[in-house]
Structure 1
Amino acid sequence: MVKKFRDEAGFSMLELIIYISIVGIILAVAVPKYNNAIVMANTARIQADLQTLDGAVMMYYTETGQYPGTIGDLDDYIKNVTELHPPKGKYMLKDGTVGEISDSEYTIDVEENEALCDGHRLADFGRQEKTGRGTE
């Protein structure tokens, strides 16, 4: 026979349901914000890396009279350039598209002489451009 004590401590079923509901609501708000922060951090890092690489491309051209064929050619202009890799995860383009980074290295577009990440140049990355603000 099981004896029940009136002083037993614990949560009632209603308290547990309320607690789980509150945690669920907090997670429903926090997780998308966290994921968006990761996307924007990756985008900012890619932008900074591409800007650095584009600057090194121009310095290489100024000194040699020709454009580099690969990222490795920029070793004299960027310390440890071979260790410079895109972050893992997602990024955002200015047209609002969110993409998954598939390349493990930055590349150089030999026709446009710009650094690329996942086939996109520096000008492609960033927050979605808003149009229709104010009076025109």
Structure 2
Amino acid sequence: MSTRPRRDETGFTLLELLVVIAILGLLIGLVAPAVLRQLGNARVSVAKQSIERIDSILDMYKLDVGSYPTTDQGLRALVEQPTGVTTWNGPYVKGAVPVDPWNHQYAYRDPSNRPGHDFDLCSEGPSGTGGNEEICNQ
């Protein structure tokens, strides 16, 4: 009879660990792009909803003041009373001037460059340069 202690055979082999790592790699490779795509779509949706909300706030500003803020006054007119405006009843937005989901300032123009709009309120998208990424009020 041998008096050598018996070796415990519990644990994973190198092959089993490699198989698990390969499966996890495949899952991450398939799931990650879909998750990132959904994140991008969510930010676009939030930008559209924010533009609609700010559009409504600008309408309230117009009811009080009689006109929309000028391009020079910009969206800051919703937070601080512009000089020369006596019927301002704000602040219309709490805190700071709103920014888009990519943390860029919204582009505001009055009068609008587009026919059928009183003003332009746009997010210039993820890059902040506009172009075909631009999301504007309807």
Same fold (TM over 0.5): yes
Where does residue 20 of structure 2 map in the other structure?
19
Paired with 1:4 and 1:81, the residues of 2 have a C-alpha distance of 72
Where does residue 85 of structure 2 map in the other structure?
none
- The answer to whether the aligner puts 1:62 opposite 2:66 as a matched pair is no
Give 1:77 deviation, angstroms. Answer: 6.0
Paired with 2:12 and 2:37, the residues of 1 have a C-alpha distance of 36
Where does residue 72 of structure 1 map in the other structure?
76
Q: Which amino acid aligns with 1:82?
A: A
Shift of the 23–44 alpha-carbon distance from structure 1 to 2, 3 Å rule, reads same
Q: Which moved more, 1:16-25 or 1:113-122?
A: 113-122
Shift of the 64–78 alpha-carbon distance from structure 1 to 2, 3 Å rule, reads closer
SS at match of 1:115: strand
| 1:105–1:117 contact (8 Å) kept in structure 2 | yes
Give 1:44 deviation, angstroms. Answer: 1.8
Which digits, 9 at most, give the CA deviation of each residue in 1:45-80, with x for residues without a partner?
111111111112222223322221210112326332
Query: Normalized against structure 1, the TM-score is what?
Result: 0.64
Where does residue 92 of structure 1 map in the other structure?
none
Q: Which amino acid aligns with 1:115?
A: L
Percent identity of equivalent pairs: 21
Where does residue 41 of structure 1 map in the other structure?
42
SS at match of 1:27: helix
Look at both structures and tell me which one has the larger radius of gyration over its CA atoms.
2
Give 1:4 deviation, angstroms. Answer: 10
Shift of the 16–86 alpha-carbon distance from structure 1 to 2, 3 Å rule, reads same
Q: Any gaps of 5 or more consecutive residues in structure 1?
A: 89-102, 124-136
SS at match of 2:101: coil
> With CA pairs under 8 Å and 6+ residues apart, which has the higher RCO, 1 or 2?
1
Where does residue 122 of structure 1 map in the other structure?
137
4+ aligned runs moved over 6 Å, structure 1 = none
SS at match of 1:9: coil
Paired with 2:98 and 2:5, the residues of 1 have a C-alpha distance of 66
Q: Which moved more, 1:69-78 or 1:49-58?
A: 69-78
Where does residue 31 of structure 1 map in the other structure?
32
Paired with 2:64 and 2:39, the residues of 1 have a C-alpha distance of 38
Question: How many aligned positions are there?
Answer: 107
Give 1:122 deviation, angstroms. Answer: 3.4
